[in-house]
Amino acid sequence: MTASNHQASTPNFLQALVCFGIVLLIISVGLFAYVIDLHSLMFLCLLWCGLVARLLGYPYSAIREMMASAITRALPAIYIFILIGMVIASFMHSGTIAALMYYGLGFLNPALFLAIGLILCAFMSLATGTSWGTVGTIGVVFIGIGETLGIPLPIVAGMVVCGATFGDKLSPVSDTTNLAAMSAETNLYRHIQSMLYTTFPTLIIVLVIFILIGFRYSGSDSTAEAIVSIQQALDATYKLSPVISFLPLILMLVLSIRRFAAEIAMSASILLAVVIAITYQQHTAVDVLNALWLNTPTNSGIASLDDLLGRGGISSMSWTLLLALMALALGGILQGAGILSALLSGMIARVKHTTALISTTICSGLIGNMAMGEAYISIILNCQLFREQYRKQKLDSAVLSRSVEEGSTLTTGLIPWTTAGAFYSATLGVPVLDYAPYAFFNYLNAFVSITMAALGIGLLKNRFLKSS
């Protein structure tokens, strides 16, 4: 839908700034001052932005199409929302999560738990290319183990998000990695090479931070006793053969590495987990299939363990899914009515130096996530908006794609109303605002990138591909 089709006017920078500022005001005041549910706040934001679009000249039919188009573009993410709920529930019943906890508790200790967890989450997300799959599987395991070791859950959740986001940003099989390279018109591996300059130094810094934090939680007799009791409860509740229990997770890893679609990898893993739950764990088919909709706590005798192993199911994702749909609809209006483009273009026009350009690109990614509720549209839009400016400053397109990822991919999990933030919070059981201070990787990477730009490090020579 174009403005000319409906005699709609294009908003200027001030109009866009006022519109977006009121959206942020509604959310921040409602969330922090009055503790109003985000769904209600999103409804108010939708009404406000719909009114602005109407005042710009768009009829209701065009505004509705903006919302519908944004939701349609995000359907793959919505499918994964539903599947992740079933993955968690089926992995609980098959004993996969229980086995990971049982054997993981055998070699983990509080001092190194966070560091080891960061590395394992990073490796898994790097191999599978999905932060959501990582958070929904071994992320849930680390939450359970961390609680057992007496480590505050916001710290554990922050560690999981750091590791999961690392691979999602850097993996050649990640959708955001491929999308950023494609949108910036650069080669995929050139894009990954560019990200290595800033990503690995940041990961090392974050690893050191988590090692230092881990030393605050040294082992004790009570912790050792708690670990033994958890292992005994798991052993009494499930059959824990590593050969059989790990099969669903192995299948998902293999299919992901072989670049099967995430929906196929997850569906196959769910089916295998259901078969194992029925034939090996000897759960009834009715109980297992009902758990795919809504899982229920187990009866191990340890309340916290029962709650953990009772997570999952499609219905457990409903709060997150509904919030995501409303946020996507809001983003559709902001993008379709030209409000976000006017806001960001106003910022770009004021950028003159390389460091400022990279800083603005990263900030723009954050604004895009806050406005549209997910990273995909933000990545595409920012690559389009900033491409010409990077050309003028003779910066490689891989620097553009890297900066866009650092602003969009990394910050999406730090915002409560984005699809990623809502998903991480629902899956890990920790509010976004609680774990965000400990998701060091997700915001330190931006500071490392800006610092390196100021020092002239990692600014690759111009290799923009010619437009077709």
Q: What is the pLDDT along the chain (468 residues), one digit of tens a residue?
A: 444 445 789 999 999 999 988 988 998 888 778 888 888 998 999 999 999 999 999 999 999 999 999 888 878 778 877 887 898 899 989 998 888 878 877 777 778 889 989 998 898 788 667 788 789 878 888 888 888 788 899 999 999 999 999 988 888 767 788 888 888 888 888 898 999 999 999 999 999 999 999 988 865 555 667 678 888 988 999 999 888 999 998 998 888 778 788 789 889 999 999 999 999 999 999 999 999 999 988 887 777 678 778 878 899 878 778 877 888 888 889 889 999 888 888 778 778 789 999 999 999 999 888 887 778 778 877 887 888 889 888 899 999 999 999 999 999 999 998 889 988 998 899 999 999 999 999 999 999 999 999 998 888 765 544 433
CB 246 within 8 A of CB 124: no
User: 195 CB contacts (<8 Å, ≥6 apart)?
Assistant: 169, 170, 402, 405
Whether residues 140 and 15 share a domain: the answer is no
Q: What is the largest CA-CA distance in the chain?
A: 73
The pLDDT value recorded for residue 146 is 86
Amino acid at 343: L
Question: CA angle at residue 159 from 157 to 165, to 5 degrees?
Answer: 100
* Cα separation of the two ends of the chain: 24
pLDDT of residue 376: 79
* Inter-axis angle of helices 153-170 and 188-214, nearest 10: 160
Q: Contact at 8 Å (CB) between 374 and 77?
A: yes
pLDDT score recorded for residue 461: 60
pLDDT of residue 304: 67
Bin 431: left if φ > 0, else alpha if -120 < ψ < 50, else beta: beta
Q: What is the pLDDT of residue 468?
A: 33
State which of 288, 317, 346 marks the end of a domain.
317
The answer to whether residue 156 sits within a structural domain is yes
Q: Which range marks the domain in which residue 368 is found? A: 11-73+320-454
User: For residues 151 and 426, what is the distance between their CA atoms, to the nearest angstrom?
Assistant: 19
pTM attached to this predicted model: 0.76
Please check whether residues 257 and 358 belong to one and the same domain.
no
Q: Is residue 370 part of a domain?
A: yes
Residue where a domain terminates, one of 317, 338, 372:
317
Name the DSSP letter for residue 466.
P
What per-residue confidence (pLDDT) applies to 326? 87
pLDDT in the model for residue 410: 95
Do residues 166 and 303 both lie within one domain? yes
295 and 387 fall within a common domain:
no
What is the structure's pLDDT at 466? 42
> Would residue 133 count as lying in a domain?
yes
- Asked if residue 20 is part of any domain, the answer here is yes
Per-residue tokens: 331: 């983003």
Which pLDDT score, from 0 to 100, does residue 462 have? Answer: 58
Out of 266, 286, 317, a domain closes at 317
- How far from chain centre, in Å, is Cα 415? 10
Task: Please give the backbone phi and psi of residue 337, each rounded to the nearest 5 degrees, phi first.
Answer: -85, 0
Examine residue 253 and state whether it is found in any structural domain, yes or no.
Answer: yes
Q: What is the pLDDT of residue 220?
A: 56
Residues 66 and 99 in one domain: no
Residues 162, 273, single domain; the answer is yes
Based on the fold, state whether residues 237 and 373 are members of the same structural domain: no
Q: What is the pLDDT of residue 223?
A: 61
Indicate whether 412 belongs to any domain: yes
**Nearest Cα to 162, choosing from 404, 444, 440, 425?**
440
pLDDT at position 194 is 93
Same domain assignment for residues 161 and 184: yes
Using a 10 angstrom Cβ sphere, with 0-12 exposed, 13-18 middle and 19 or more buried, the burial of residue 7 is exposed
Tell whether 98 and 221 lie within a shared domain.
yes
Q: Verify that 340 and 396 share a domain, yes or no.
A: yes
pLDDT score, position 173? 62
Q: Give the Cα separation of 125 and 173 in Å (integer).
A: 10
Domain count, the chain: 2
